[in-house]
Amino acid sequence: MTAAVARETSFSRASLALTKRWLWRLRREPMGIIAALIQPAIWLILFGNLFQNGVAGAEGNYIAFMTAGVVVMTVFNGSMSGGVEILFDRESKMFERLVAAPIPPLAVMTSRFGFVLGLTAIQSTIIFLVSAALGVETASGIGGYLLIVLTGMLLGVGILGLSTALAFGLSNHGPFFAISSFISLPLIFASNALAPIENMPGWLQTVARLNPMSYAISNVRELMLEGYNWPVLGTTVAVLLAFDAVMLTICLWTMRRALS
């Protein structure tokens, strides 16, 4: 009954199989799906109305101003927590078992990236639909919407790279949650997600201008409120690609260390 031919499994086939695994698990967690999809919309409605008259510099409709921030924060939160499943796999030795299959180990990582980024793209779409229902019009139309999703993806790759690097670099999930919480809030507040950079103290403006989230939010906000701004779009793509390259390099390094 033994097999005569030893065949390696291709990268694409392995990535597809591992992505299916996440989808099978998602199907089994209906409350998780509902929470993941509804939470950003609740943020938009709740904070949009709460700060409608309270944020200086956010001219016009604050819900429109904040939609960009909520899109990017949703991508950020989903990506920041996205790597933890790899850490759970390492803790349970599932990761070891997966890489004992004839697959390129990178497929474990790419399947997770594909799943998380796909999910955040769906979340972003729901935010747009909710904001549209609340009367917000996207100045750049459907093309702008696609560029907004692309911007979210570019930021998501870098953040997920950071999260996955933590998953490969740490030995258990306690420190993972401590570090990701420690990083998350300062990064959100030291960005233009909730208020314009010009309204911040000088030192915080410097931090915000070094924060890749700010670039993503600026670009999304331009596309939402003003239309196509090619210099902003170009700068954003360049900054986020550089951010992604750094984070993916760190991520791959930690993965190789974990494998060895």
Task: Give the interface with other proteins as residue ranges (CB under 8 A).
Answer: 1-3, 6-9, 13-14, 16-18, 20-21, 24-25, 28, 92-94, 96-104, 259-260
Q: Dihedral of CA 161/163/167/169: which sign?
A: positive
* Closer residue to other proteins, CB minimum distance, 20 or 129: 20
* Closer residue to other proteins, CB minimum distance, 99 or 149: 99
CA distances from 59 to 14, 33, 109, 196, 214 (A): 49, 34, 41, 10, 18
Q: Dihedral of CA 115/246/258/85: which sign?
A: negative
Q: How far is the CB of 256 from other proteins (least distance, A)?
A: 12
* Closer residue to other proteins, CB minimum distance, 31 or 56: 31
Euclidean distance between CA atoms 260 and 256, whole angstroms: 6
* Closer residue to other proteins, CB minimum distance, 105 or 196: 105
Q: How many CB atoms lie within 10 A of CB 9?
A: 14
Q: How far is the CB of 21 from other proteins (least distance, A)?
A: 5
Euclidean distance between CA atoms 149 and 117, whole angstroms: 10
* Closer residue to other proteins, CB minimum distance, 10 or 249: 10
Q: How far is the CB of 252 from other proteins (least distance, A)?
A: 18
* Closer residue to other proteins, CB minimum distance, 29 or 226: 29
Q: How far is the CB of 9 from other proteins (least distance, A)?
A: 5
Q: How far is the CB of 120 from other proteins (least distance, A)?
A: 21
Q: How far is the CB of 31 from other proteins (least distance, A)?
A: 14
Buried b (16+ CB within 10 A) or exposed e, 17-38: ebbebbeeeeeeeeeeeeebee
Q: How far is the CB of 166 from other proteins (least distance, A)?
A: 21
* Closer residue to other proteins, CB minimum distance, 9 or 125: 9
CA distances from 112 to 108, 161, 179, 232 (A): 7, 11, 20, 30
Question: Quick one: tokens of 13?
Answer: 């086939």
Q: How far is the CB of 194 from other proteins (least distance, A)?
A: 35
Q: Do the beta carbons of residue 123 and residue 163 sit within 8 Å?
A: no
* Closer residue to other proteins, CB minimum distance, 98 or 224: 98
**3-class state of residue 260 by DSSP:** coil
Three-class HEC string of 132-162: HHCCCCCCCHHHHHHHHHHHHHHHHHHHHHH
